[in-house]
Structure 1
């Protein structure tokens, strides 16, 4: 995470646990491996060593929304809160999953998954976005975590991706 500047660009410290992320396409996320938008288009399974009696928040974000060399602005791809234990499917989806879609010519993007342990079940005042692309930009995982007093992430992982032939199809599906 430090080699690819996830620390300090996205979070202040490396999480204690590596988040396990597996896609239906058969690929897994492995601390900076390069995957294609085609491989990560569908919702992955996500797991970590969780306290079954605790609630968690899952954030999936792209800190290279415009280009890695331009001052970054995160664009979140998935936001699930009040996850009981590590049962992501039982959490409250604030922003539905949207796979990677780095624009052509913007180079390699970092796609970061973070899990935070909540101090309890929380009330979030964020808009529920579904698959809408509205209000996903100008997002910062650290600011979100601070707002809800989530502390540092307990688990994380990330991959790299760049434009491929699936991206125009994704944009069409999203009306972008």
Structure 2
């Protein structure tokens, strides 16, 4: 088993967040010099600014990038469990800066006393370019 599925399963991202693990990795490098890598622990200071995201891509395809925190809330109302931190759609090939930002990047900032959170970046290949007529999301 490759490192990607192993990391998603050992951290319980599968099945907590998605039903099956991705097969390929994406690379995240933060302006602080930190790099996300298969479940390593990073501080909020290290990830406060938007990372550079790179991945192998089909140049003629469009992608969606999701950054979420599935550990935002551990109370009885599971609807509040996840907090989205970044959502970019219609990314042409691997050019994230050319995608449509539906929700701007916000770094991690877990509430005091909630322990270590899993922050998950997931990339989806779209069936084609998508149309979004709705208001943009807010994560503030």
TM bucket (normalised to shorter chain) is: 0.7 to 0.9
Q: Is the 8 A contact 1:63 1:110 kept in 2?
A: yes
The alignment's TM-score, normalised by the length of structure 2, stands at 0.88
Query: Unaligned 5+ residue runs, structure 1?
Result: 134-176
| Aligned-partner Cα distance in 2 for 1:34–1:98 | 17
Provide Cα deviations, 1:93-149, integer angstroms capped at 9, x if missing partner: 00000000100000110000000000000013553136x51xxxxxxxxxxxxxxxx
Query: Unaligned 5+ residue runs, structure 2?
Result: 1-7
* Residue in structure 1 matched with residue 56 of structure 2 by the alignment: 49
Which structure would you say has the larger RCO, counting Cα contacts within 8 Å and 6 or more residues apart? 1
* Residue in structure 2 matched with residue 101 of structure 1 by the alignment: 109
The SS at the match of 1:113 is: strand
| Aligned-partner Cα distance in 2 for 1:95–1:117 | 18
Q: Is the 8 A contact 2:74 2:81 kept in 1?
A: no
The SS at the match of 2:71 is: coil
Number of aligned residue pairs: give it: 132
The alignment's TM-score, normalised by the length of structure 1, stands at 0.70
1:28 Cα offset (Å): 0.5
Aligned match of 1:65 in 72, 78, 103?
72
- Alpha-carbon RMSD across the aligned residues, in angstroms, is 1.9
1:13 Cα offset (Å): 1.0
Q: Is the 8 A contact 1:94 1:126 kept in 2?
A: no
Give yes or no for the alignment of 1:87 onto 2:95: yes
